A and B are shown apart, each in its own frame.
Chain A
Amino acid sequence: MKRNAQVCIPVVAALVACLPLLCPAQSPEKRGLEIAQEADRRYCGFKDYTANLRMILRNSEGQTSERQLRVRALETEEGDTQSLCIFDSPRDVKGTILLTHTRQTGDDYQWLYLPALKRVKRIAAQNKSGSFMGSEFAYEDIATQALEKYTYKWLRDELYDGNACYVIERYPKDKRNSGYTKEVVWLDKQEYRTLKVDYYDRKQSLLKTLVFEGYRRHRDEFWRAREMNVVNHQTGKSSRLIWSDFAFRTGLKEGEFNRHSLTRIR
């Protein structure tokens, strides 16, 4: 599905660039989708990457705790993403691995490897809104934002943090299991990088704000943020993700991303 979009990339890109001039009457839904498609096109195509991740959790009293993990991700031929999160700390969960197969349509697949028992547990598929490792990030925030999982609407263009931005809303299609009714996303017009996301909970009130900082370009192609900060407005808790050591196209293979490989990798 998503790959089909790639065929008409130049067309879409040209359209998006000239939209305000050519068809001022275009519907906000269509425009929102086109912006999301272009952002997706620019984000994807990395084939695979590895990175280190530090996660700093802060409660409302300001106490912090830290987790360290390694991330490996792979794009499949079908355009889905498979990822491994390998935990290095806290030490009691060292060696725990979370394997996720993100799918464009239908529920994602997830497995958890428990090293003490050498056991791979399947995770019930609708784990979207659950907390990721005790952080303010939900699984659905961390997982690759598959294009097909939302509907979109362009809101306005505005300046955010010195960048000319598109502001779009996206609505999870899986209303039953998502923790959100809508997400408002700020994307810069230049590179279609996500700069900020506001999450609205099931009661339509603002739940969290996620801010991306320190964007760097890897292999002259892939923009990745060095920091992601999320604040939960309702609890006062916050979480910070610090990425480092990005490496793209390292030659990871699909055989390393199944439940059997979990008992062999470190």
Chain B
Amino acid sequence: MRARILLALGAWMLAVAGVEAGELSGYVSAEARLFFHDALFPGQNDNNGSVAAQPEYYHEWEDGSSLTFVPFGRADTTDSERTHADIRELNYLYPGDTWFFRLGVGKVFWGASEFVHLVDIVNQTDLIEHIDGEDKLGQPMIQFGIFRDWGHLDFFILPVFRERTFPGRDGRLRPQRVIDTDEAFYEATAEQRNIDVALRYSHTLGDCDFGVYFFAGNNREPLLVPSEQVPPEIVDPKTFAEPVLVPFYEKITQFGTDVQWASGNWLWKLEAYHRNGYLDHHVAAVGGFEYTFYGAGGGKTDIGLLSEYAWDERGDDPTSTSIYDNDAFFGMRLTPNDTAGTQFLMGVMQDVEESENLLVVETSRRFGSHWRLSLEAWLFLNAPRGNVLHDLRDDDFVRLELAYYF
């Protein structure tokens, strides 16, 4: 319904923008995910293929104001939940001399670290797109920003909440129990219409970039409640034909910070937040560094060594959906600086107390000036019973994607 309104609005804005001087770009892609092992749970498929498209229309007026429209869609052969569409962006930006405002569906990123994105809170994670959590759903917003000598101040009103996407029954990379997103319930009486707000101050002082923010509203990270624990006055137990998990979105207030500090060949990173919610209040943080050898071996290749440590006060508490509670990350980035724009990143996550670990390899290169081929592997090497990763123990996969950019 909302998508239809937004599409209509988009069509109207395109009409207003007229046919003149608009700019169209974007990509279409085909993806295959191949799993090394048979699926663990009934209903799950072994492999999947899909196609996706994300065009981008941009129009800028004489006065510098602009319209951006970025729809996204994916059709998946096996998981009906993964066949989905979203409006990533549909917003109007008006820039003043020392201020600006943005109105519509937008996307904002806050953060510094490489492996975990703890403090990024404005946009909901489109988890069904990718397990790395870097894909985000478009967030309706009114953003007002001021920039002065003393820094940058951003104020957000977020009038519509987006629920996190999860794999469906047919999909891989899900817990044993299916997540029934249709029955999601809220602490806020206004539910998805709760008006969330955020205020962020950020600044650059020499080698150091930092930001601090306050957020109040629906938690982007839902608690996954077993269906038998869902209060019957909220959802009729007969709704559940089988035991499932139901997302519960509490109301939270959160303070967060992110810092990047460059010194010589070092880049230091820190993210931390304090969250106060219905269930508890807790602190989580991730920090680390990237050290780069430029032109290693006298050639053009840059080699980066990364290490981060993530900690979450909740630990293995079932209220946490974060898989990183006390974990160390080690990674290596290779950038050959060749004409194909080749990239290579390898990372290992190891829990400090327990034995769980996972290995991620990401690499891609360009062919010609329009094609990019990406190859990625996720290996859940060790996922002991009782750990969030346990249900993913047989979901080791490689993902191959070929995208055409226009």
Contact = CB atoms under 8 A, between A and B. Distances in A.
B372 interface: yes
A259 B209 contact: yes
Interface string A91-115: 1111100000000000101010000
Interface stretch (B228-236, B263-271, B381-389): B263-271
A248 B145 CA distance: 29
Contacts of B292: 124, 127
Interface stretch (B95-103, B175-183, B241-249): B95-103
A266 interface: yes
Given A109-B262, A260-B152, A129 B369 contact: no
B262 A130 contact: no
Contact of B264 (A91, A107, A130, A264): A107
A32 interface: no
Interface in B120-160: 134, 145, 147, 152
Q: Is the interface of A mostly helix, strand, loop or mixed?
A: loop
A260 B66 CA distance: 17
B335 to A, nearest CB: 9
Contact of A65 (B98, B266, B291, B339): B339
A221 B79 CA distance: 64
A92 B262 contact: no
Interface residues of B, number: 51
Given A59-B339, A117-B134, A264-B93, A129 B294 contact: yes
Interface in A147-176: none
Interface in A189-222: 201-202
A117 B110 CA distance: 10
B307 interface: no
A84 to B, nearest CB: 15
A238 to B, nearest CB: 12
B58 interface: yes
A256 to B, nearest CB: 9
Interface of B: 25, 27, 58, 60, 66, 93, 95, 97-98, 100, 107-109, 111, 134, 145, 147, 152, 202, 204, 206-207, 209, 260-267, 290-292, 294-295, 298, 300, 302, 337-341, 366, 369-370, 372, 403, 405-406
Interface of A: 57, 59, 65-66, 89-95, 107, 109, 111, 117-131, 133-134, 177, 179, 201-202, 253, 255, 258-261, 263-264, 266
27 contacts: A59-B339, A89-B369, A90-B341, A92-B341, A92-B372, A92-B405, A107-B207, A109-B207, A118-B109, A124-B264, A124-B266, A124-B267, A124-B291, A125-B263, A130-B300, A130-B337, A133-B337, A134-B338, A134-B339, A134-B341, A202-B298, A255-B98, A259-B204, A264-B93, A264-B100, A266-B60, A266-B66
